[in-house]
Structure 1
Amino acid sequence: MRNEKFLWRGASLATQYAFASSAVLVVAAILVGTVVSRRIEENVVRNSANSTAMFMESVLAPIAQQFADQETLSPGARRALEEIFENTPIGERVISYKFWKPGGRIVEASDPAIVGEVFPVTDDLQFAWQGHVAADFEALGDAEDAGEQALGLPLLEVYSPIREYYSGEIIAVVEFYEVHEQLAADLARARRDAWLVVFGAFGGLGVILYLIVLRGSRVIDRQQRRLLNQYAELEALSANNQDLRRRVRDAAGRSAERADRVMRQIGADLHDGPAQQLAFAALRLDALQEAQTVAARQGEIDRINSAIADAMTEIRTISRGLSLPDVADKTPAGIVEMAVEEHRSRTGNAVAMELACDGPVDMPFAARLCLFRFVQEGLNNASRHAEAAGMGVSLACDADRLTLAVTDAGPGFDPAYTPLGLGLSGLRDRIESLGGAFHAGRGSGPGSDLRLSFDLGEWK
């Protein structure tokens, strides 16, 4: 190893460059060749799929219009479909087909055995439901591809959306498998040509650069002896400058981080605290207008006054740089109970509690405040969006993990289609910044399920 290092250091710059650049150019050529060949393959497959999909859509779309208002084809439409794939040149190229409805259900197929079955929704099928043509070549790895895979043929798998003529809405997705031996040959030739071009270009570039470096190396060798005399002075000056830059960079980074953390904390506290109180007060104004008796109106007025007073108290506290609520000395169970009782007193809503976390837990103040804000935001959302139906809070912990959940029996929501609001987004950021996990969506039963969990071992 020592001899190898000596030989490397004693070699000329041109020789060192030849070895280093060869390795770099080979790796770069492999990466570029992989990307280029993959892009060429994707483009060839996409173009072939688009042309085939346009032709198939013109043939199948009139028949598939029945899927706009029914789940199956009429006997006449089915016979027409069989005639197309059995007695026309299309049947020689397209060996099978499937018509999909939402949820991964097959409603019509060349193989009657799979009609009515439900398969996992693949990325290509989901892409087709979004209105695009999706295709794969010789990639029959999905669950519904077992029959086609057994044929051992080069198949182009195409997903094409079927639209209703009048509304333009996608009513079904047709998947068909086209035997495409020519495409396999074209792809093999395109890959070969791409690799030849890439390696030829990088090889020629390497030779040209080596000749340039060889000439420069000879000039550098002559100048190197003079530079060695100045190296000692420059080394000391460079070390001082490097240390100064490092200290300035670290100080600026810490300052920016503190400022950003303070701003995020203030924004989160304003939204999770006073904004929730004021939102509740605005909500109760509608109830005040609907109150029929003086006693009911007075009760709503008292709740509104209480919420506004609480909001003003928290705003004044935040402006003085204090953190509310007072959770520093409370156990997780005490924090959750305090948040639930505060919601009950403001709204009068019933909230079921299940606290399976006895005793103190070693966790930072930010995590304790996060527990309170999580319960507060979850119950307020349930009050607004689920009409306070079946609200419940559960807390569980052991030596390693703490889990907190807020549930309701309302209509629920799917985060894949309903973006999180400011409150839930802030909760997610707050929880994940502390190393926790956040879940929002439907639970095992009806309604919504908000859930957080902390790994207590990270704070020990």
Structure 2
Amino acid sequence: MFTALQLAFRRLSFSRQFLLAIVAVLTTGMLVIGSWIGHLIETNAVNRTAAISAVYLESMSAAKLQGWPKNGTVDEATHEELDRIFIDGPLHREVLRFKLWDANGRIDYSNDHAQIGHVFPVRGRLAAAFAGKVQAQISDLKEIDNLPEQISWNQLLEIYVPIRSANDGKVYAVAEFYLSVANLQQDIRAAQQRSWGLVALSSLAVYLLLYSLVRRASNTIVVQQRDLRSQLQQLHHVLDENERMREQLREAGVSTTALNEEFLLRIAADLHDGPAQTIAFALMRFDEFATTCQGCLSSQGDAPNELNSIQNALQLSLKDVRKISSGLAIPGMTELSLADTARRAVLDFERLSGQKVQTEIDENLGNAPLAVKITVYRLLQESLTNCWRHAPGGSPQVSVQNSDGEVLVTVIDHGVGFDPQAAAVAGRLGLAFMRERVRLLGGIFELDSAPGRGTSIRVRLPLSTDEMIHV
């Protein structure tokens, strides 16, 4: 239940959350302050009434009691005088009960004559009055000395007034009298209602002031949140567009790699079927012509040597054309796995260069998109060719591994090395082409080399079909 309320509260706007919170805080504060002020009003009203009544009653009765302490009891004349005041006089309507206590807790006089002579313990407010302090409270008449009053009333204003000696000022008796609380309670309720109204109006004013400030701040926050959401949507749109363009770029890279390979195959076929065949035919005809004319030209000085030079040039040209044609084409690539493709690149290099290569090829590479296989083959072909050119005496190292859904290709040689920045300025096309091939497929190309400490090439290419489109 509490968790559901928390969730419902959090779904509210900031201003409404503040509305509920401030209402709870102000209501609690209003109740506490109102109750305290109400209690203070009641206490002050009782004390004020007690003080006024005490002064009035003391002024009327003090003169009648000056002779009382001499014999310790109220004489008949004093008794009759007090009866005229509290029973027959004007105070009998205001003072509902009057008791005169001595220091031993004995009631020496009461307008209820049945209580005269009763003795009770001197404690509480009676003891405080004998100590010289006026005491007053709205009593529920639960004390043992209030049993006669319980018969006629539920609540009375109980006041204790110390009576002092005119000679030395010592308290020699306490006058206790009871007043009706009806008018007093009406005054107290009216004052409390006014105080509650003032507290409520003050709380409402504070609430309206705070709410107006928070409402304005909340509106600002709402506008800012709306702007942020709009900007976030625009950002999502831009990111989606960037992702779409990146996917298009990757697709274009894959297609470019495949089309480039197809173009190289076509050039290789054209070289093999065109210039190579023509040169081979010319060389064949030239051999026939040279055999026929060998005897005729033997007496012509340098003519036989010229024929041999032409024949050697034609043979070298045919060999170069066939070599270029075989280097451009990679037949059967589609049927090969990625591991077989890497192994074939190494074997082709070893066959052409006569140089051994230390290989470590992961057999768990599985199949890969054609573009990846082409890129791995060309990368190994170009890297090993560079090793052969710049570190002919060494044994290059090739590693092709599966690394978290990517193929990791590493080629290391221990040759003379070079400065990569200087090579970039010099415009070395081999490195540039390798880097561009890898970039088109969304891979990572790393080159580490320095003069005197060899060269290391590390390439990461994606293997997942989710990131690479088959061609």
TM-score bracket for the superposition, by shorter chain length: 0.3 to 0.5
The TM-score normalised by the length of structure 1 is 0.45
Q: Which entry has the higher C-alpha Rg, 1 or 2?
A: 2
The TM-score normalised by the length of structure 2 is 0.44
